[in-house]
Structure 1
Amino acid sequence: MKNLTIRKNLCAQIVHDLGRQILGGEIQPGQAIPNESVLCERMGVSRTVIREAVKSLAAKGLIRSRAKLGTTVLPSVSWNFLDPDVLEWQAQTDVDGRLLRHLTQFRLGLEPAAAAFAAQCASDDQLQTIRDAFQAMEGAVENAEDFLVADLRFHTSILHATGNPFFSPVANVIRAALKSSIRVTNRQSAENRKSIPLHHSVMQAIWDRDSVAADHAMRTLLGDARARIQKAGGGKRPSTLLPNPQPESSVQSHE
């Protein structure tokens, strides 16, 4: 069992190292990664470990192995950007704020609809979970780490409350966005307090079963987050993002 644990740890480290190189552009799409013998010598591991690492990276859509052609990096359109490791590697190599812009754009395109669906579909227990997460945010405004945890719980609870399982993987995107946002804005307790009323509006609209209001409240909340990111210098190309939220929701009914 000890040897198996060591092998898994070594495999995870190699996956991490190669993943960072791919996401960081050190190994470009179409290029081959070093062959097994080179990787074994360079990293001091067995061929078994290397093969496990290659399988893991292939499962994330980053590489493909072919007989006689070796293992090459796939085009970025094949990468599983919702994979938590891929998101983390992107965040670690995001030097110009592009990832944060893309994450914010993606959230603006998806979370308002999720809030609208949650307003119509959430069970009583799910409504309470959303309220509990909001109350945890209220109690954690002075602690950045605790506030982040509660904020993530709030947004993921809304995704789960849609009743649509395809919304759930978006939790990885939100986690990466919140972490990246904090690195850019150096968020303080005063900003946490300012966001509380915006989160309350989202929660109340969902509790009231008002899908239009929930959609609009979430757009307003995310628009505020985008404005803070741009002010802090993390949104250098605002024209690439969605337009500012409008009073009227585009989600009129989900029945």
Structure 2
Amino acid sequence: MKNVHGNTLDHLGEAIVAGRYGESAPMPPEPKLCEELGVSRTVIREAVKSLVAKGLVSTGPKVGTRVLPPADWNWFDPDVILWQARSGLTPEFLRDLLDLRRVMEPAAVRMAAERATPRDIEQIEAAYQGMRRAIEEGGDYVTYDLRFHQGLLAACHNRMVVQMSKALSALLRTSFEISTSRKGGPRDSLPLHRAVLDAIIARNPGKAEKAILVLIDGANKDIEHVLSTRRKLPRLNRPASPLKAA
């Protein structure tokens, strides 16, 4: 549970990302924010410091606190990603993440095939079995799918990749929800996930990379189809829809 600072930061961060404060425009003065949020000036100032650190605002004498353009925001900050996800994923944001995933995940999976520990493989296997049970018995497929891919990225044992994986979580969750909503999507993708895991167990980087690319390309097609038909994207501030028993 977040404290007053965390809740204030979330409120202001979401407001900025959602466009409720205009780009390059000054934010409301401290007294107004204190009254609106029911917090002290100290809390507002600490929240603003955090927003400055995340690249969302700048401060200065006589100009106050101003919202910076999105190009200046720290898109690898998990809070910024979360705020964007809550306010709605735009097609541009999703496509940026699609490009990032296609660059990063195959390379990470190659490393995972070389570096994964028995514990890593055990956790990825457990996530895979959770996906399988959700298909056969009904349940939360998306959460286990997300654990599977997070397990792959963790198994490469590279701290930079692990940090970047936090930025990918919004894309992965969106992608999995879209694919899950397609008839037969989870059942079709299960053997593709198995192929990735088997290649890692076999310590075969090339095969693991090819297998993950098949998964990524299929997921990208699902997302592009949704974007082209202008269907609503999933809202990530709600629980994923569970599968019904087969």
TM-score category (smaller protein): 0.7 to 0.9
Q: TM-score, normalised by structure 2?
A: 0.82
| Per-residue deviation, 1:112 | 0.5
Name 2:162's counterpart in structure 1: 168
| Per-residue deviation, 1:185 | 5.6
Name 2:194's counterpart in structure 1: 200
Name 1:212's counterpart in structure 2: 206
Moved more, 84-93 or 190-199: 84-93
Name 2:65's counterpart in structure 1: 71
SS in 1 for 2:154: helix
Distance 1:35 1:183, change over 3 A: farther
Q: Is 1:100 equivalent to 2:99 in the alignment?
A: no
Moved more, 30-39 or 205-214: 30-39
Name 2:29's counterpart in structure 1: 35
| Per-residue deviation, 1:134 | 1.4
Which whole-Å CA distance do the structure 2 matches of 1:210 and 1:57 have between them?
Answer: 43
Which whole-Å CA distance do the structure 2 matches of 1:192 and 1:167 have between them?
Answer: 26
| Per-residue deviation, 1:79 | 1.4
The answer (yes or no) to whether the contact 1:101–1:235 under 8 Å persists in 2 is no
- 1:223-244 Cα shifts (integer Å, max 9, x gaps): 11111112233687xxxxxxxx
Distance 1:234 1:179, change over 3 A: farther
Cα RMSD after superposing both structures: 2.5
Name 1:121's counterpart in structure 2: 115
Moved more, 87-96 or 122-131: 87-96
State the one-letter code of the partner of 1:132.
Answer: A
State the one-letter code of the partner of 2:11.
Answer: D
Which whole-Å CA distance do the structure 2 matches of 1:212 and 1:191 have between them?
Answer: 25
Distance 1:80 1:33, change over 3 A: same
Moved more, 11-20 or 47-56: 11-20
Identical-residue share of aligned pairs (%): 38
Which whole-Å CA distance do the structure 2 matches of 1:145 and 1:84 have between them?
Answer: 27
SS in 2 for 1:141: helix
Distance 1:188 1:145, change over 3 A: farther
Distance 1:144 1:182, change over 3 A: farther
Which of 218, 236, 245 aligns to 1:224? It is 218
Distance 1:142 1:76, change over 3 A: farther
Which whole-Å CA distance do the structure 2 matches of 1:125 and 1:200 have between them?
Answer: 17
Distance 1:135 1:95, change over 3 A: closer
Name 1:56's counterpart in structure 2: 50
Which whole-Å CA distance do the structure 2 matches of 1:44 and 1:71 have between them?
Answer: 19
The answer (yes or no) to whether the contact 2:142–2:180 under 8 Å persists in 1 is no
The answer (yes or no) to whether the contact 1:184–1:233 under 8 Å persists in 2 is no
Moved more, 18-27 or 117-126: 18-27
Name 1:137's counterpart in structure 2: 131
Name 2:13's counterpart in structure 1: 19
Name 1:181's counterpart in structure 2: 175
